Structure formats: structure tokens, C-alpha cells
Amino acid sequence: MSSILTNNNAMVALQTMRSISANLSDTTSQISTGKRIATAKDNAAVWAISKVMEADVAGFKSISDSLALGSSTIAVAGQASSTVNDLLTQMKTKIVAAQESNVDRSKIQTDIDTLRKQIGSVVGAAQFNGLNLIDGSNASVKILSSLDRSANTVTASSITVTAQDLSIGAYAANDVFAAGTGGTAVPSTKGDTFSMSLDNTSGADTIKIQDGATAWAAGDKVSMVIGGQTASYTVTTADVTSGNNSVPDLVAMGLKNSIDTLGIAGLTVDYDSANPGELSFTNAGANDLAVTGQFSNAGSGGLGALAALDVSTQANAKTALGNIETLITTAINASAAFGSVQSRVDTQKTFVNNLTDSMKAGIGSLVDANMEEASARLQALQVQQQLSTQALSIANQQPQALLSLFR
């Protein structure tokens, strides 16, 4: 039956044309945007995942910038501490020369003073974007290193960079170290530093922390380097209020506890309550252990002892030689610390960059259009659109045939 009211063929052709037009519009959108899923209506679940990942990528880009800034700051501090070490080494050669009897000590002292001023200039200039890690103005800084996601919770992680104090500052030498009673170890340089060797074949060696030439103050620090490891104790306000005479006792006990935590094989440190402030060292290990000690008053920087270096007499030159060795160790430890943390920051920066690239690739696999497939589909849909147009035209001509029945 034919009808002039209902043209089924035209309706079928029109539906087909609408479907082809919708597919053609979708394919054209993919080609123009490059995305298979450009909006939430294309695929709400996948679109939501991609947006969360895109937000994380943006966050990691900021983290990469933070790591780059941190790496540059550490690099400046590391270079400065290395330069300080070189200058201290030059200073050591001057002090070694001053050990002779027939030298012009005044000229050597002038050279030492010049090098000390240069160290101060290096330390003061070692800043990046206003942050100085070696002038004693900062204890530590945190560098944003990662974003950790757990479901919908995101937390930030940081790398802590411990600042190294290489400033000179004010300094007042104290007679802190002395040979212990009955001990065989005699400090090679009395005063604010000492050095000795713990022979693994001999008995106990003793060192005494004494009252000092001036009163103890909160912030005064006594440190020892034993076999390349550092132990220290910083005087607290509570220590000072307990009375000046009891501070050496407290320092000795604090040093013992700090040395014990180093876990040096074969080393035993005993505190003798009968001799306040005295520590007894016994080395039962396989090797001898070199020991150095240094006192730093609260007002001094990490290189505060530089201010007291004096080679005007042969005795002072001998003391200065012990001091400079400890200061060189301080600068070397600072350089090593910065080198270690910079390596970690650079490794994290490389990881974050690679992770960002991987996340971008993952987002692309979710939402990007397959351009080869889209191109082939476009060609097919254009042909289908032309054919559907012809089919609709033919279907629309069918009612015209009914006119012949009424002629």
C-alpha cells in the first residue's frame, strides 16, 4: 500500500542520514580537537580520570620547578663550601710554614688574616635567590619533592636539606680540654681543640672537660670527631642554671651518649663520676682511631675558631695547626653533606620529569583520538552521507509516482 501521508522509505533514509551526520560530527570533532573524549558527555568516567591526572601533572610541573630551584641553591652552597675548603687548605700551608723558627711570622699572619677575610666574603655571597645555606642563618630548609595520592587524598612530600654553618662570627677561645687524671693521652694542642690517637693495643686514654677560662653559656658546643664520625653536645639553658662548675660534667655525659650512638666497633667510652668531666676511651677494635675535639662558643659560627688563629709565636703556631685541621674537617663534611643531598634532589628531579611524561602518555591513551582511524572513518562517512542524501531524495520522489494514478 502506498500513502501520501506516511513515507516509510523517507523516514528510514532520514534516520540513517541523522545517524551518519552524528557520526560525522563526532569524527570531525576528534580531528579538530585531537581527542576521542573531549568533554564529559563523551565518556564521563574516563573524562573524570583524565582530569584528575591532568591536575596531578600540573602539580608535578610545579614540583619540578621547586626541585630545580633547590638543586641550584644546594649547588651554590656546595661550591662555596668547596671554595672555603680550598682556602683553609691554603691557610694550613701558611700555618705549617710557621712551625719553623726562622720565619717572618708577621707576614704569615697577614696572609692568614687575608685568607680569613676571603672566607668571610665567600660565605656571605653564597646565596641563591636570597637563601644562604652556609652562613648560619638557617638550620634547615625543605624542598617540595613529590605529590603522594591515595584515592582522593593528596599529600606533599619534601626533602630536608640541613644547612652547614661555615660562618666565622664572634669567637672566644676557652681552655676546655685537658688530659685526664691517670690517663696516657695528652692533648697535642690544649685550649679550644685537641687531637690524639686511640691505639688499639694500649689501655684506656682519658680526656677531661674542664671549667674553661670563661663561664659556660647556653649554645656553647663541644664536638669530637672519632674515626671520621662526629659526636657533639650543645650546652642548654638548664645546664647553665645548674651552676658553671657542673657544666663540664653534663657535657662529658652528653658526649658519651652521643659517641655511644655512633656504634664504633671496639670503642668503649666510660664516664668516671669520681673525676667530674672525665671520659675514658678504650679502643679494642682492629684499627687505631684518630680523635679530634673542638669547642665553639655560642656566638661563634661553624668556623669561629678562625678568628683566634695566631702564629705570632711557635707555641701559638702549634695550637693553630691543630685548630686548622678541625676546621678543614668541618668544611669537608659540609661539602660532602651538600653533595649527597644534591644527588638525591637531582635524582628526584629526573624521576619527577619521567613520571610526568608517563602520566601524560597515560592520559593520551585514555582520551586522545586515533588520527589514522579518524581519517579513514571521515572518508567513509562522507561517502555514506552522499549516499544517504541520494536515498532520501529517491524516497521523497515516491509520492510523486501516485499522481500518475489520477491522470
| Same domain for 236 and 282 | yes
Single-letter code of the amino acid located at 190: K
Q: d(Cα 207, Cα 194) in Å, to the nearest integer?
A: 9
Model confidence band, residue 211 (pLDDT cutoffs 50, 70, 90):
confident
What is the DSSP pairing of strand 193-198 with strand 205-209?
unpaired
Q: What is the CATH number of the domain that holds 97?
A: 1.20.1330.10
Q: What is the pLDDT of residues 186-210, one digit of tens each?
A: 665 555 677 778 887 777 788 888 8
Residues composing the chain? 407
Q: Give yes or no for residue 68 having a pLDDT over 80.
A: yes
For the chain, the average pLDDT equals 85
pLDDT of 36 reads 81
pLDDT of 187 reads 64
Q: What is the pLDDT of residues 239-261, one digit of tens each?
A: 888 766 688 889 999 999 999 99
Higher pLDDT, 147 or 75: 75
| Same domain for 188 and 160 | no
Strand partners, 232: 223
285-311 mean pLDDT: 82
374-401 mean pLDDT: 81
| Same domain for 277 and 243 | yes
Model confidence band, residue 395 (pLDDT cutoffs 50, 70, 90):
confident
- Which domain does 213 fall in, by range? 177-298
pLDDT of 1 reads 63
| Same domain for 139 and 61 | yes
Domains contained in the chain, number: 2
| Same domain for 240 and 192 | yes
| Same domain for 184 and 294 | yes
| Same domain for 340 and 293 | no
Q: What is the pLDDT of residues 92-116, one digit of tens each?
A: 999 999 998 888 999 999 999 999 9
Q: Give yes or no for residue 126 having a pLDDT over 60.
A: yes
| Same domain for 218 and 145 | no
pLDDT of 149 reads 82
* DSSP E strands, 187-285: 193-198, 205-209, 221-226, 229-234, 267-271, 278-283
% pLDDT > 70, the chain = 94
- Cell 658553671: give the residue: 244
Pick from 201-210, 306-315, 356-365 the range whose average pLDDT is largest.
356-365
pLDDT of 253 reads 92
Single-letter code of the amino acid located at 81: S
| Biggest distance spanned by C-alpha atoms of the chain | 142
Q: 216 in helix, strand or coil?
A: coil
Among the listed residues 260, 282, 328, the one whose alpha carbon sits nearest the alpha carbon of residue 180: 282
pLDDT of 19 reads 85
Is the entire prediction scored with pTM above 0.75? no
pLDDT of 370 reads 75
Q: What is the CATH number of the domain that holds 283?
A: 3.30.70
Pick from 84-88, 100-104, 150-154, 183-187 the range whose average pLDDT is largest.
84-88
